[in-house]
Amino acid sequence: MSGSGFGKQFHITTFGESHGVALGCVIDGCPAGLPLSAEDIQVCLDRRKPGQNAAQTPRKEADRAEILSGVFNGVTTGTPIAIITRNTSQRSGDYDALKDVFRPGHADFSFQMKYGIRDHRGGGRSSGRETVGRVMGGAVAAKLLSEFGIRVEAYTLSIGDVQIDKEHMDMEQRLLTPTGMPDPEASKRAMELIEQCRKDKDSVGGVVECRIGGVPAGLGDPVFEKLDAMLSHAMMSIGAVKAVEIGDGIAVGRRFGSENNDAFREDSSYVNSITTATNHAGGILGGISTGGEILLRAHFK
């Protein structure tokens, strides 16, 4: 396999290149009976759409989601859900200059070494546009998880040296700022930094944090399919991610066990009446969820 599938029960396969005919996702294993419409996917595609603001690549793509299968009378049937979006700006000519160039920091060279051939138009399959298929799968996954009260919230923690103020962050704002930062003031400074980078023909890294709430205790498998191992796999598979942290992450290596451990305490508001006083572990122990909030960070170059 060429590595375009992910997941066990809920398995997605994505396809499509930056300047090919279409990008898409096939979801195999979504349970029957979930209400699903193209609009559910569209909301998420719109959120990832570049060119909305000065922060991202200024390319115009309609990115209209079309569901090809797996939904009947507005609900899923348990059969595979195929979703596509057609590329509307296939201006291959724009990229002819890149045909014989290996861009530093990109996958041009490694793809050429692996396949002996590559779609040089905008990076082809290695383009950031590859995430369109992930967003489609993620939109369906998020809808399914919400049926079980599980909420996934991701936001930008920092861009270059501009960090959000965690004491005063407003989660609603993450969907409104052009940077995805839940802090309009930090977002404004980050946009200025990005604008300066653009002028300098440079780019800048950043960190995304993700919180998953409502996860019951007992999810995940031991040993090689630990919940944190699967999440790290998924995060690191996103282009440009070079580090992943769970809970307190890299801080744990410098600390004592007495600082890293979370004491259990009784709390009848939890299903099992047990929770932890702190959450250094990020909601996962031994690869299995504890019922606490799952916390992870991905570092992008």
For CA atoms 48, 54, 56, 60, the dihedral sign is positive
Candidates 53-61, 167-175, 178-186, 237-245: pick the segment binding a copy of itself (CB under 8 A): 237-245
Strand 71-72, strand 66-67: pairing: unpaired
Candidates 7-15, 42-50, 144-152, 173-181: pick the segment binding a copy of itself (CB under 8 A): 7-15
Name which position in 43, 115, 151, 192 contacts a copy of itself (CB under 8 A): 115
Shortest CB 287 distance to a copy of itself, Å: 7
**By CB under 8 A, what part of segment 164-183 binds a copy of itself?**
none
Which is nearer to a copy of itself, 1 or 97 (by Cβ)?
A: 1
Candidates 50-58, 166-174, 175-183, 273-281: pick the segment binding a copy of itself (CB under 8 A): 273-281
Burial class (CB in 10 A: 0-12, 13-18, 19+), 72: exposed
Phi-psi region of 15 (alpha: psi -120 to 50; beta: other; left: phi over 0): beta
Which is nearer to a copy of itself, 44 or 295 (by Cβ)?
A: 295
Shortest CB 132 distance to a copy of itself, Å: 11
Which is nearer to a copy of itself, 168 or 265 (by Cβ)?
A: 265
Burial 171-186 (b: 16+ CB within 10 A, else e): eebbeebebbbbbeeb
**What whole-number distance in Å separates Cα of residue 289 and Cα of residue 248?**
15
Which is nearer to a copy of itself, 1 or 172 (by Cβ)?
A: 1
> How many residues sit in the footprint of a copy of itself (CB under 8 A)?
130
Asked if 273 touches a copy of itself (CB under 8 A), the answer is no
Which is nearer to a copy of itself, 117 or 172 (by Cβ)?
A: 117
**By CB under 8 A, what part of segment 53-112 binds a copy of itself?**
66-70, 72, 75, 77-82, 84, 102, 104-107, 109-111
**Long-range contacts for 200-206 (Cβ within 8 Å, ≥24 apart)?**
204/159, 204/160, 205/159, 205/160, 205/299, 205/300, 205/301, 206/156, 206/157, 206/158, 206/159, 206/160, 206/299, 206/300
Name which position in 26, 135, 191, 212 contacts a copy of itself (CB under 8 A): 26
Asked if 32 touches a copy of itself (CB under 8 A), the answer is yes
Which is nearer to a copy of itself, 167 or 202 (by Cβ)?
A: 202
Residue pair 279/293 in contact by the 8 Å Cβ criterion: yes
Residue pair 24/136 in contact by the 8 Å Cβ criterion: yes
Tokens 């919180």 locate to 211
Name which position in 175, 205, 267, 273 contacts a copy of itself (CB under 8 A): 205
CB count within 10 Å of CB 116 equals: 7
